[in-house]
Amino acid sequence: MAFGIYVHIPYCIQRCTYCDFATYEQSKILPPDQYVDLLFEEIRQKHRYYKPQSVDTIYFGGGTPSLIPAHLIVAVIKELGRYGFTTRPDTEITIEINPATVSEEKLKIYLDAGVNRFSVGAQTFDDRLLKMVHREHSAKQTLETLDLLRKHNLNFSFDILFALPSQTLEGLKNDVRIAVEQGAKHISPYCLTVPDGHPLSKGRAIDDEQVDMFDFIAQELTEHGFKQYEISNFALPGHESRHNMLYWIDEPYWGIGLSSHSYTKESPWGTRYWNINSIGEYKKQILEHQGKEFTSPALHLPSDQFEALEMHQALTDFCHTSMRLMRGLNERTLQEKFPATVFHQVSSIMNKLTDRGWVQHDGTNWSLTRDGLVISNKVFQELTFLKEDI
């Protein structure tokens, strides 16, 4: 069984127009050392939720983790080790960084601590679009940061944001070309998603054009040796995100910090729990139990911060996350986790989706077809179960 840890670092230079994550401008939140002290206290309180073990992945997300002093990132890794959550030479340790927030000195500190994967907040190489979404860096600064990572032959990834207002297919082609030329080993294309009435909702490509944009990205990356292994993720062979895979293959993970989510196997169908997304309330809750240790979310957290899953919820999660992967849902793993009646029910639904041309079956796995990828939300809707369904 694999196990990973996510650490949320909610510091940003400026909030991006499209962002809905629990983040703060760095001047409007606790000083970083005080926030890390809260992380230490949370580790103390919750480490007994899990057995001590060497971890497969650690992921520092945000926000912009590279904004805070590098020694604080190292301190978190060491604190986890102090409670038995140690790293190995092959542990994947990822940190999200923004252009112009990493120096040679900071990079050396990361590397000495075992950080071996860097997720760069590039989004686009068009300065006009960067300003539109309130990204503080320029395309030139992105290229300079990538030069630094490439100089040390490091493993880095970044997102490509598409369907921005006034963004053209030609502009997107340029973004993909630069991404490949710069040596990224993992690229995640994300379609801008904002509600109606949002400042960024006007002037965007229509739905069919958004599909064309994604198709172009997929085709271009495939031609350069990338493999689409998940709906929104492409990687060169061997460079898939091991941490994100934990979410998609039903493995436990521990989320630490503001607004982070976790999943344990402590109840028959799994337990999910999560942290408050207000920094003031998060601090208050952590300090309320200062110095204590707990063995379970049910003995520690308010009832609105954890959920022992019922079978229909676990089945829904299992089907949705499995079908996000290009390899799809494996028959044997479904049979091993759920009763035979559930397997037959899912098989019946999959047969119907196969007849529609949305799903394909290779004898062992069900997976999305090209048409199924385009309307994946409809596939997931068919694989959403209520208590009375099973």
Residues 124 and 235 placed together within one structural domain of the fold:
yes
Residue closest to 114 by CA, chosen among 68, 74, 156, 82? 74
How far the first Cα of the chain sits from its last, in Å, is 27
> 246, 277, 303: which is the final residue of a domain?
246
273 in a structural domain:
no
> 186, 221, 246: which is the final residue of a domain?
246
47 in a structural domain:
yes
* Prediction pTM value: 0.93
Looking at the predicted structure, is the pLDDT value of residue 386 above 80? yes
Which tens digits make up the pLDDT trace of 51-100? 999 999 999 998 889 999 999 999 999 999 999 999 999 999 999 998 88
124 in a structural domain:
yes
Residues 197 and 324 placed together within one structural domain of the fold:
no
What single letter denotes the amino acid at residue 299? L
83 in a structural domain:
yes
Place of tokens 């300065």: 127
Which tens digits make up the pLDDT trace of 240-257? 999 999 999 999 999 999
Residue 18, pLDDT score: 46
Provide the domain limits for residue 330: 315-389
Residues 220 and 323 placed together within one structural domain of the fold:
no
Residue closest to 178 by CA, chosen among 141, 130, 139, 209? 139
256 in a structural domain:
no
Residues 241 and 321 placed together within one structural domain of the fold:
no
For 99, 159, 191, 243, the CA distances from 180, given in Å and listed in that order, are 17, 12, 19, 22
Residues 226 and 335 placed together within one structural domain of the fold:
no
Residues 225 and 328 placed together within one structural domain of the fold:
no
CB 293 within 8 A of CB 83: no
Which tens digits make up the pLDDT trace of 1-18? 899 999 999 988 665 454
Give the CA-trace dihedral at 293, 299, 302, 306, to 10 degrees. 100
Q: How many folded domains does the chain comprise? A: 2
Residues 334 and 188 placed together within one structural domain of the fold:
no
Which tens digits make up the pLDDT trace of 150-180? 999 999 998 888 888 888 888 889 899 999 9
CB 30 within 8 A of CB 18: no
Residue 291 region by backbone torsions, left for phi larger than 0, else alpha for psi between -120 and 50, else beta: left
Q: Which residues partner with 308 through β-bridges?
A: 271
77 in a structural domain:
yes
